[in-house]
Amino acid sequence: MNTQINRLPVPTWNRTGVNWLDQKALPPDREYLQGRHLPYDGILPHGITLMDHLPAGVAEIKSGMGEWLDEFIRKGADKTCYLLGEGIASEPVIITQNLDPAQPVIRTHYAIKAKPGSNLTVVQINRGDAKDGVVENLTQIDAQADSFVRLISIQLLGKNSQSFDAVGARIGKGAKVELIRAVFGGKTAACGSMAHLEGQGGGYQQDTAYFTDEDQIFDFNDIASHIGRETVSEMHTAGVLSGRSSKILRGTIDFKAGSAHSVGHENETVLLLSPRARNRTVPLILCGEEAVEGQHAATLGRFDEKQLYYLCSRGLSLMEAKRMLVEARFMPVLNKITQDDLRQEILTIIERRLDEHEINS
Amino acid sequence: MKDFKQEKTRVDQADRTIYNVKDRLDPAFLMDSGITPEIVNQISKEKNEPEWMRLFRLKSLKLYNEIPLPTWGPSLDELNMDQIVTYVRPKSTMKAKWSDVPDDIKETFERLGIPKAERKSLAGVGAQYDSEVVYHNVRAEVASKGVVYTDIESALTGPYSEMIRKHFMKLVPPSDHKFAALHGAVWSGGSFVYVPAGVTVEIPLQSYFRLNAPGAGQFEHTLIIVEEGAYLHFIEGCSAPRYYVANLHAGCVELYVGKNARLRYSTIENWSKNMYNLNTKRASVEEGGTVEWISGSFGSHISYLYPMSILKGKKARMEFTGITFAGEGQNLDTGAKVLHAAPDTTSHISTKSISRDGGNSTFRSVVTVTEKAEGSKSAVSCESLMLDSISRSDTIPVMDISCNQADIGHEAKIGRISESAIFYLMSRGLSEDDARALIVGGFAEPIAKELPLEYAVEMNNLIHLEMKGSIG
C-alpha cells in the first residue's frame, strides 16, 4: 500500500514538491492509543438515526488523502459516528470536538449513508488546542439515488495542533453531495477529498475557504472523479495567505472513460498578503472521454487596486474595503453556515487576521 | 427516417512519404551501441576535442549512471540504452556548398525542401545528418554584420572557444536530469549562433536535423547568444524515417538573450513514431529582453519537451505558443516552464492540443514567481480537443508563487467541439460539415499564424483535417 498522503493523482516534477503532502505537515511519528471505536452519543434530529456498525461497502470509499491514512483512521478511530439518513432531516446534525491537553488526540471515523431520496446536513466543528495535538477525521459518504448530503467542516484549532480531514463520497444516480469547508486553524492542516460520481446525473459541489497566518502550512488534495454519464462537479476554493505561511492546493477533475456528457469546473482565487507567504496551486484535468467539458481557472495575486479605489470612493476606509473584498471571497462558504454564532466567529477570525496583518506589515 | 449513426470526424495523418524515405546506411564511422567510458572517450577522440571537454563528458557520464529515470511522465521502460548507437558519423565533412555534399545526403535534404527554403527565405542554414553537421552556410551580408552561425564543433576549437566554454551546459547543467547528463556525455553536432549587440537579423536562420540510422541517437547541441539590443529568429526542424527499433533524440538548446534583445525560436518537430524525444531547451533572459518560443510537436513515439525561460532581468518577457498533435501510438508530454526571478517580468503561455486514435497528449507546466519578482505577471492558457474516447488528454500545471505583488492567471479547457458554435455557424448558412471543419481548423490557427508561411503550410499538411459527418 502506498503510504503517501494527499498524493497528486498524476505525478509531476519532484522538485516542485507538490506530488504529495508537504513534508512539514506529516502526522507525528509517535504511538497513539488504540482506537476504542466509541459510538457517537449525541442527540440526532428527526430523519437521521445512528447505525451500530459500518454499512457494507462504505469502508471502500476512498478519500483524497490516500488509502494508508484512510485505513489508519478507520482502524484506529477512538470515536465513530455512523449516520443513516432517511427522508428529510428536520435540522442539521452538529458535532463539535474539542481538543485539550487532557485529550490531545482525537481520531474519528464518520460514515453517512443517505438512503434514496433522503436529505441531510452534517456539521463538523473542530476547535481547541493542545501541545502536539492532533485531530484526524475520516468521513465516508454513501449518497444513494436522488439523495442530498451536505457536509460542513469547520476547523478552528489552535496553532499547536495538526489536523487531517479525509472525505470520500460515493454519489449515486441523481444524488448530490456538497462539501463546505472553512479551514483556519492548526499549525498544519491537511484536507483530502474524493468524490466518486458513479451514478448518472450525480452532482458534487465543493466550496472551501481558508485564511493562513504566521507559519501555518495548509495542504489540500481534492478530486472529482467522473465515472457515470451526465455528472457535474463544481469545486471552488478561495483563500488568503499571510505571514510566513504556505499552502498547496491540488484540485483534480478526472473524466473516466464512459463519463460522457459530464461537466467539471474548478476555480481558485488566492490573495497573497505577505511577501513571505508561499502559494502552490496544481489544478489538474485528466480526460479519457471525448464528450465532456472540463475547465479550471486560477487567479493568484494581490488586492485589485481598481476594486479598492472604487470602494474607497464610495466612502469606505481602505481597511473596510479590504475586509469587504476578503469576506466576499468567503461568502459561498459563509452563506451555507446557517448557525449565526458560528458564522460570526469566522468573520471575527477573518477580521482579526486582517488587522494583525495590517499592524505587522 | 434519418440514420442517427454518426460518422466520426477523421483527422488523417499527414502524408509522411518525404520523411519516411530511408537512405542506405553508409556511414563513415559507426560507434558500438551502448554507453561506456570507452565510447565517450572515443567520441571525444573522433572529434579531436580539447581535454576539458573530454573530462566534461566523463563527468556527465558518471552523473548519467547515478541519476534515476524520471518518476513522472510517460514510461521509458522500453527505451534500452544498451541498444542505442550514440555516434554515427556520415561520410561527409561539413561543407559550405550543397554541391559538395554527397548526392544521397543532398537528395534527402532536397526532398525536405531545405536548399529551396534557404534560397527563398533564410539567412543561413545548418543541416545535420545523424551525428554530424554536413552543411553550414550563412549569407555574406549577414556574416558581414558580425553574425556567427557555424557548427558547434568548429566553434569549440576556433576563435569562439572561450565563449563556448563559458556557456556550454551552464544553463542546462548535466546534473539537471538523466538525459541532460546523457547529452553532456555523448553530444555531437548542433549549431552555434552569435548575434552582436544591436544587430537585427531580418530573415531567419534554420538548422535542420535528420536522423537516418536505425537504432541511433541524435544529441545535437544548440547554443545561441543574442547580445544587447539584437534580434534573431531561429528555426529548428527535425525528422527521421520510421524504423521498428527505438531511436533517441536527446538534444539540448541553450539560449542567452541579452539586455533588450529579442530571440524567436521556432520548432517544427516531426520525428518518426519510433522516436523517444527527450529534448531539453532553456533560455536566460536579461533586463528588457524577450524570448518567444513557437513549438509544434507532431512526431515521436514519446516526447518529454518543456522549454524553460529564466527571466533574470527586470522587465524580461517570455511568450510560449505551442501545439501538440497526438495520434495512434503517441504519448506526447509537452509544455513549458518559466521562472520569474526579477521585478516586472512577464510570461504568457498559450497551448493547444489535439488527441485522436488512442493518442495521449499531456500539457505540463510550472510557473515559479520568486520573492524578487514584484510587479510580475503571468498568464497561462491551454485548450485541448478530444476527437474520440480512446484517446487521452491531461493537463498538469503547477503555479509556485512566493511574491505578493504579482498577478498570476491560469485557465484550461478540455472538451469537444461546441454544439452551440456549430448551431451558430449553421444559422449563418454553413452546412454542418463545413461548420465543424471551420471550427477544428480554427482551433490550430492561432499557432499557425505565429509560424513562417512555409512552416504554417507544413503544419497544415500535418494536421490534414478531412471532415466526414460529425463529431460526437
Q: What is the pTM of this model?
A: 0.91
- A279:B401 CB<8 A: yes
Choose the closest CB to A278 out of B72, B366, B402: B402
pLDDT of residue A69: 94
Interface of A with B in 17-36 (CB under 8 A): 18-19
Number of Cβ atoms within 10 Å of the Cβ of B335? 26
pLDDT at residue number A170 = 98
Query: What grid cell was written down for A47?
Result: 430523519
**Residue from the list B403, B410, B416 with its beta carbon closest to the beta carbon of A290:** B416
Q: Which three cell numbers stand for residue A115?
A: 438512503
Check whether A210 has a pLDDT greater than 60. Answer: yes
- Whether pLDDT at B11 is above 50: no
Where residue B426 falls (left for φ over 0; alpha for ψ -120 to 50; beta otherwise) is alpha
Lowest mean pLDDT among A68-82, A320-334, B211-225: B211-225
Alpha-carbon distance A300 to nearest alpha carbon in chain B (angstroms): 5
Check residue B221 and give its pLDDT. Answer: 96
Backbone torsions φ then ψ of A98, nearest 5 degrees:
-115, 125
Residues in B whose CB is inside 8 Å of some CB of A read 71-72, 364, 366, 371, 384, 386-389, 391-416, 471-472
Which pLDDT belongs to residue B14? 46
Which among A12, A257, A275 is the nearest to B396, CB-wise?
A12
pLDDT at B238: 76
Q: What is the pLDDT of residue B443?
A: 80
Kindly write down the DSSP assignment for every residue of B296-308, as one continuous string.
Answer: EE---SEEEE--E
The Cβ of residue A291 has, within 10 Å, a number of other Cβ atoms equal to 17
Average pLDDT of span B305-313:
98
Does residue B454 have a pLDDT over 70?
no
The confidence score (pLDDT) of residue B437 equals: 67
B423 vs B56: CA distance, rounded Å: 61
Q: Is A349 on the interface with B (CB under 8 A)?
A: no
Angle, helices A305-313/A318-334, rounded to nearest 10 degrees: 110
User: What tens digit of pLDDT does each residue of A73-95 get?
Assistant: 999 999 999 999 999 999 999 99
List the single residue in B364, B394, B402 with the smallest CB-CB distance to A285.
B394
Classified as helix, coil or strand, A118 is coil
Q: If 0-12 CB within 10 Å is exposed, 13-18 middle and 19+ buried, where does residue A26 land?
A: middle
Burial of B56 (0-12, 13-18, 19+ CB in 10 A): buried
Facing residue for A10 by CB, picked from B396, B399, B403: B396
CA distance linking residue B469 with residue B472, whole number of Å: 10
- Option in A273, A287, A301 nearest B393 (CB): A287
Q: Average pLDDT in the A102-108 region? A: 92
How much is the average pLDDT of B76-84? Answer: 89
Q: Scan residues 202-231 of A and list those with Cβ closer than 8 Å to B.
A: none
- Asked if B415 lies within 8 A of A281 by C-beta distance, the reply is no
Residues B18-70 have pLDDT tens digits of 666 666 666 767 777 778 999 999 999 988 999 999 999 999 999 999 999 99
- The answer to whether B402 contacts A14, with C-beta atoms less than 8 Å apart, is no
Which residues in B lie closer than 8 A to residue A4 (C-beta atoms)?
A: none
Residue of B nearest to A273 (CA): B404
How close, in Å, is residue B336 to chain A by CA atoms?
A: 12
Q: List the 67-96 stretch of A: residues with Cβ below 8 A of B.
A: none
Tell me the chain A residues in contact with residue B416 when contact means C-beta distances shorter than 8 Å.
290-292
- Write out chain A residues lying below 8 Å of B422, CB-based: none
What pLDDT does residue B210 have?
81
Task: Tell me the pLDDT tens digit for each residue of A231-290.
Answer: 999 999 999 999 999 999 999 999 999 999 999 999 999 999 999 999 999 999 999 998
**Cα(B399)–Cα(B411) distance, integer angstroms:** 12
Q: What is the mean pLDDT of chain B?
A: 85
Residue B435's contacts (CB-CB under 8 Å, 6 or more residues apart) are B421, B422, B425, B426
- Chain A residues whose CB is inside 8 A of the B408 CB are 298-301
**Closest to A272 (Cβ–Cβ): which among B386, B400, B404?**
B404
What's the whole-number mean pLDDT along residues A333-351? 93
Closest chain B residue to the Cα of A271, Cα to Cα: B404
Q: Which of A268, A261, A175 is nearest to A226 (CA)?
A: A261
> Tens digit of pLDDT for each residue in A111-166?
999 999 999 999 999 999 999 999 999 999 999 999 999 999 999 999 999 999 99
User: B148-151 and B317-326: which strand pairing?
Assistant: unpaired
- Report residue A30's pLDDT band, with 50, 70 and 90 as the boundaries: low
Domain boundaries, given as residue ranges, for chain B: 10-305
Q: What interface predicted TM-score (ipTM) does this complex get?
A: 0.94
List the single best residue of A2, A263, A290 to mutate versus B (max B Cβ within 10 A).
A290
Asked whether residue B464 carries a pLDDT value surpassing 60, the answer given is: no
Distance CA A8, CA B214 (A): 38
| Mean predicted confidence (pLDDT) in B411-417 | 84
The per-residue pLDDT for B3 is: 41
